[in-house]
Amino acid sequence: MLNRAKLKLLWRVMAMLTMTRLVAIASAAAPVDDKHYYLPDAAASKIVSVAKTGKAEAEVIVMTEAVAIKETGPKETVAKFGEVYAFSPTLIAIQRDVPTILTFWNLQSDDEHDLMLADPNSRVLMHLKLPPLSKTSYTFTFHRDGIFNFYCAMHQPEMNGQIIVMPASK
C-alpha cells in the first residue's frame, strides 16, 4: 500500500523525470544547424574579409577558458552564476589591412562555443562554430579601424572580447 509520504515522493520523482526530459528536448532543439554559421557576405567583406587560406603577417591564438564549470567548480560559483567561460585573451590589437590569422582553440571536450564578430556599429558580420576540442582558424583582414566586439552567443553575457583595429602604420 502506498501511504501519503510515498505517494508524494513518487509524484516528485515523476515530476523530476518529466523536467529532465523537457531539458533534454530543449537542448536537442538547440541550434546545431550549419546554415546558422556564415562568413562575411559581400557587404560585410568590405569591412573585414575572411579566408580559410592565404598569407598572413601575424597570428593570434584565442582560447576558450573554463572559469567555473560543473566538473571542477567551485560548486557555489556554478550554483550562483551557472557555468562561466571566457575567451583568452579578451583584447586583441590588429593592424588595418594586415592579414592576421585568428585561431580559436576550444579547450573543452563537452562544450561547443561559437564566435560572433560585430563591427563598430554592432552589426554582426559573421558567425563561426567552434566545436569541442578543436582549432578553428581563419585569416582576417580588417579594412576599417575601430573597436570590433566578438562574443560567444552560447555563453552570454560573460564570454566576450574586443578587437581593436588600428590604422595601418605606413
Which residues share a beta bridge with 165? Answer: 94, 146
* Nearest CB to Cu ion, comparing residues 116 and 165: 116
- Buried b / exposed e over 104-138, threshold 16 CB at 10 Å, is bbbebeebbbbbbbbbeeeeebbebbbeeeeebeb
**Least distance in angstroms from the C-beta of 153 to Cu ion:** 8
For residue 99, the minimal CB distance to Cu ion (Å) is: 26
> 38, 155, 142, 158: which is closest to 92 by C-alpha?
142
Minimum distance, C-beta of residue 95 to Cu ion, in the bound complex (Å): 27
The residue among 159 and 165 lying less far from Cu ion, judged by its C-beta, is 159
**Site membership for Cu ion, residue 159 (CB under 5 A):** yes
Compute the distance between CA of residue 73 and CA of residue 71 in angstroms, rounded to an integer. Answer: 6
Task: Please work out the total of residues on this chain that contact Cu ion, with binding judged by CB under 5 A.
Answer: 6
Q: Does 154 bind Cu ion (CB under 5 A)?
A: yes
Residue 155 binds to Cu ion (criterion: CB under 5 A): yes
Q: Alpha-carbon distance 27 to 32, whole Å?
A: 10
> What's the closest the beta carbon of residue 112 comes to Cu ion, in angstroms?
7
Positions in 86-145 near Cu ion (CB under 5 A): 113
Stretch that binds Cu ion, among 7-15, 45-53, 90-98, 146-154 (CB under 5 A): 146-154
Q: What is the closest distance, in whole angstroms, from the C-beta atom of residue 152 to Cu ion in the complex?
A: 3
User: What's at 27, amino acid-wise?
Assistant: S
Binding stretches for Cu ion (CB under 5 A): 85, 113, 152, 154-155, 159
